[in-house]
Amino acid sequence: MASARSLLVSLRPEQWTKNLVVFAALLFGEKLTDPSADARAVAAFAIFCALSGVVYLINDVRDREADRQHPLKSKRPIASGQLSPRAALSFASLLAVVALGASTVLGRNFFVVALTYVTLMAVYSGPIKHVVILDVLTIAIGFVLRAVAGAVAIHVPISHWLLVCTILLALFLALSKRRHELVLLAEGATSHRRILQEYSPYLLDQMIGVVTASTLMAYALYTVSPETMARFGTDQLLLTLPFPLYGILRYLYLVHQKQGGGSPAEMLLTDRPLLVCVGLWALAVVVIIYHPFSR
């Protein structure tokens, strides 16, 4: 029972909210009212939760020595010795086989995307995480692959706007996390994560500023593009812009004033204003895209 509990904790179910991006294609592909598409999207979400768990296990095994120097990560089951590396890797292998096997049910293309995701993230846990800039770009590409998987699973075209907005938002979150680690660990940052010696709070603030502006601009252009208005038959999607604007500014406030940003998923679940903002944004999008009075 103790080992099972440790395995579950190591899979980090609190981080599975990151996989909600799988549902973006369902929402913007106008398939939300299609029961078959809903079921396939839920299956895709479950598969990516399993695959992300595989990646977390591999990452924790590789980083167990460095994690022991971290004030928070030292409590993780593998770093603390509650779960042996051999047991973690054995379960990760089994879970990867089961998840990838299940992905074939959603089609060959979905299987290819799922395999690409878990392979890329496994490689990231090795050499890529030690290469400046490429480390955060790889994390962002992981989010893009989730979005692509969601579209492939329900057989809708992959919007270029979806990919652009996804990678920019993911970059914003990844850079904010790097800044949190650098500030939290202070002088001990580089001993915990070697790549942090390539960054500084000033550099990260500059990068975050560029990505923040780009993310909001990309979303604003998406809402007013002729392609979007023609597809949804409405020009009212621009009315949803205040929600991502508030959400990003709120996130920056939490990063700079509350020393947050270490876990985007945790912040989403624990910060009520941020959670309400995301919920209202999703509701507004549903009303505008699906409600007949908005056309």
**Size (the chain), residues:** 295
CATH 3.40.50.2020 fits 1-158, yes or no: no
The pTM of the whole model exceeds 0.85: yes
The pLDDT > 70 percentage for the chain reads 94
Parse the chain into domains and list their residue ranges.
1-158, 159-295
**What's the pLDDT tens digit per position in 23-79?**
999 999 999 999 999 999 999 999 999 999 999 999 889 888 877 877 777 888 888
Spacing of C-alpha 96 from chain mean position: 19
Instruction: State yes or no: pLDDT of 261 exceeds 70.
Output: no
Query: What does the mean pLDDT of the chain come to?
Result: 89
